[in-house]
Structure 1
Amino acid sequence: MNNRQLTIFRTVCEEGSMTKTAEKLYMTQPAVSQTIKELEQESGVCFLERYNRKVVPTESGRLLYQYACHILGLYQDLEQHLKETEGVRTIRIGANLSVGVKMLRGFIRAFEKKYPDIQVKVTVSGSVRLMELLKTHQIDLGLMEDLPGETDYIQEPFAKDRTLIVAAPDHPLAGKEHVRFEDLKKENFLLREKGAGVRDRFEAILRTKDCVIDPLWESRSTKVLVQAVEDGFGISVLPYCLIEEYLKEGRLAEIKVEDLCLERNLNLVYHPHKVWNDPLRDFMDIVRWYGHDEIRAMKTTDGMFHGQTDTNTLLL
């Protein structure tokens, strides 16, 4: 069992097809099939089976896939560290939209002052996708909201993120005092796609209230949702940092619900056995400083943090 075999096997599991694997890895389909056959013969175990025209892993195959991802991830880490000794250095950061829009540029600018020759590769996506990238060692570190359920990954909070329920300014509930959760049940909800952290957090809160909603709209785009809310199609649940300007311009209005708390943590998320280098440690320290009382400016009534003169490069 070698690195090449594990790479091909992992790709077959992810693509669900020998043909697609061959295309992705620039191989022929017979070569892919032969590699899988050799792997199964060497191990004496069947790892794949066909189901509804797709190739799917058996129980043993699922176990091998988990180990293959881990082994190949360690191999990628080793390659990166070896490259670093030759002066070619890159760190790979994943971030959710809240961090990606409002904070990440400041973190990178502060990092580049110390490491001008190190490239920071960034992936901005939802938490489900970011966790996939962490598990397959395609990013070194995730900056995202709380993960649902139990996880083997370390979650280190560095900031709070406000989430608001918003409507068009002329909506009957906009600006109304003493709004309760029951008042929202008949509203049309316009939500981010499943897997987005803000959506998962909201639905988790709904489950504690024995409530399930069927969104009228779903979108990956905050801009699309904002425009739909402005046009009166319904109400939405969005992070404050992504809609701050719309609120200030009076294009959106907050619905303040007395019995609903939507505040969430933003976390550094990483594998407990991650091999750290100095640049990555320093990048993490920059993120941690964002939440430090001596560096973070006083919290204002709008729920955001505004940097002081000597630290605002960290707080963009």
Structure 2
Amino acid sequence: MLRKLEIFKEVAFDSSISNAAKRLHMSQPAVSVAIKELEEQYQCLLFHRVGKRLVITDKGSWLFQRTVELFDRMDMMEQRLKEEPEFQKLRVGVSMSVGNTIFPSLVKEVVSRVPTLDIYAQIESSQNIEDKLIKNVVDIGILEGVSQDPRLISHVAFTDRFVLVVPIDYDHEEISLKQLSSLKFLAREKGSGTRELVDAVLSANGVRLHVQWESHSVEAIIQGIIHHLGVCILPYALVKNQIELNQVKTCRIRGLSIERVVTLAYHRDKDMQDIVSVFLKSLKSHENFT
């Protein structure tokens, strides 16, 4: 239909089949057939045949105006589509520790590198993010630790160090593992990367914690520490601001050091190499934050 209207527009422009045929690089009979088919389709005359001349009819004149408007709009649409950048939506799953610290500045840096990126984020436990990567609910995940699932590909972004966080007026600068086991402990929820790592390291060192709280909210845990309800082992990045504000402080654990890697993961069946490379560069630039 559009092709026939284009032919009609060229013929109506100067009421000449021969001129239209030249502009369209068509034969004159082919142009005549297209006009005849349009007239049959609309059941009206578009041109009067006066000898060898064509004279456009009232309906033909009306159709010519509408056809010109139609093709002008199509040209505008094509130009607009070429001018407007195509935004790529990216679904990112982010661990709690990264989501509560560097993620906003990370997004800003990534978007500055790829302006057409539209990032949708979900901040939750690493375990949930892994599940969503496998189910294609998110495209990439920033995880605490390395995923052991063979369906996922992981790249190390940076190393995260952990500290024992205690009330600001806590008496000791350093405690033993035995002393740690006697303290009331405010823990992250089971399934979080932080909880799994802390439990594994302390269990390997024969420490059994007295867990007073379990919470997915880091802020709730920090407030609990401020109000002398217990202590917690957390990534330094999560409590950096509160330490600088003298709301809480850190205490060394004699003979114990806890570190873990933060990784960028995606499903091995998805082609994510280019965008993963951008995220890794941006993540590595935040390594000193920890």
TM-based fold match above 0.5:
yes
Aligned-partner SS, 2:255: coil
Q: How does 1:101-180 map to 2 (within 5 A)?
A: 101-147=100-146, 150-152=148-150, 153-173=152-172, 175-176=173-174, 179-180=175-176
* 1:176-201 residue CA offsets vs partner (Å, 9 max, x unmatched): 4xx32122111100111111111111
How far, CA to CA, are the matches of 1:273 and 1:243 in structure 2? Answer: 37
Given the alignment, which residue of 193, 207, 215 partners 1:219?
215
User: 1:158 touches 1:290 (CA, 8 Å); kept in 2?
Assistant: no
Are the equivalent residues in 2 in contact too, given 1:107–1:286 (CA < 8 A)? no
Structure 2: segments with no counterpart, 5+ residues: 1-84
Any residues of structure 2 matched to 1:180-219 within 5 Å, and which? 180-219=176-215
Q: Which residues of 2 match residues 62-77 of structure 1 at below 5 A?
A: none
| Alignment check: 8 A CA contact 2:91 2:120 kept | yes
Contact 2:168 2:248 in 1 (8 A): yes
Could you report, residue by residue, the CA deviation over 1:80-113 in whole angstroms, capped at 9, with x for unpaired residues? xxxxxx9463111111122223332233223323
Which residue of structure 2 aligns with residue 95 of structure 1? 94
Paired residue for 1:74? Answer: none
SS in structure 2 of the partner of residue 287 of structure 1: helix
Structure 1 segment 28-43 matched on structure 2, within 5 A:
none
Tell me, yes or no, if the aligned pair for 1:163 and 1:198 is still in contact at 8 Å: no
Normalised by the size of structure 2, how large is the TM-score? 0.64
Quick check: 1:158–1:291 contact (8 Å CA) kept in 2? yes
% identical aligned pairs: 22
Whether the aligned pair in 1 keeps the contact of 2:225 and 2:231 (CA below 8 Å) is yes
Please state whether the residue corresponding to 1:215 is helix, strand or coil.
Answer: strand
Q: Deviations over 1:134-163 (max 9, x none)?
A: 110111111111147x42122211111122
SS in structure 2 of the partner of residue 102 of structure 1: coil
Structure 1 pair 255/140, CA: closer, same or farther in 2 (3 Å)? same
Quick one: structure 1 residues 117 and 229, their matched pair in 2 at CA, closer, same or farther if it must change by over 3 Å?
same
How is 1:188-267 mapped onto 2 (pairs within 5 angstroms)? Answer: 188-267=184-263
- CA–CA distance in structure 1, aligned partners of residues 143 and 128 of structure 2: 11
Offset of residue 132 of structure 1: 1.2
Distance 1:117 1:272, change over 3 A: closer
Q: Which whole-Å CA distance do the structure 2 matches of 1:159 and 1:224 have between them? A: 26
Counterpart Cα distance in 1 of 2:283 and 2:217? 28
Q: Aligned pair in 2 of structure 1 residues 283, 103: CA closer, same or farther (>3 Å)?
A: farther
Instruction: Tell me: CA distance 1:194–1:296, structure 2 relative to 1, closer, same or farther (3 Å).
Output: closer
1:217-241 Cα distance to aligned partner (Å, 9 max, x none): 1111111111111111111112211
Given that 2:158 and 2:283 are in contact with CA atoms closer than 8 Å, whether structure 1 keeps it comes out as yes
Cα deviations across residues 38-80 of structure 1 (Å, max 9, x unaligned)? xxxxxxxxxxxxxxxxxxxxxxxxxxxxxxxxxxxxxxxxxxx
Q: Secondary structure at the match of 2:258?
A: coil
Give the distance between the partners of 1:111 and 1:290, measured in 2 at CA: 6
Task: List alignment gaps of at least 5 residues for structure 1.
Answer: 1-85, 306-316
**Cα distance in 2 between the residues matched to 1:147 and 1:285:** 17
RMSD of aligned Cα (Å): 2.3
SS of equivalent to 1:116 = coil
1:268 is aligned to 2:264: yes
> 2:279 matched to 1:287?
yes
What is the one-letter code of the residue matched to 2:110? F
Amino acid at match of 2:193: G
2:142/2:265 contact within 8 Å kept? yes
Q: How many residues align?
A: 205
Q: Normalising by the residue count of structure 1, what TM-score does the alignment of the two structures yield? A: 0.59
Aligned to 1:27: none
Question: Which of structure 1's runs of 4+ aligned residues deviate more than 4 A?
Answer: none
Q: Which has the higher strand share?
A: 2
What letter matches 1:250 in structure 2? N
Aligned amino acid, residue 151 of structure 1: D
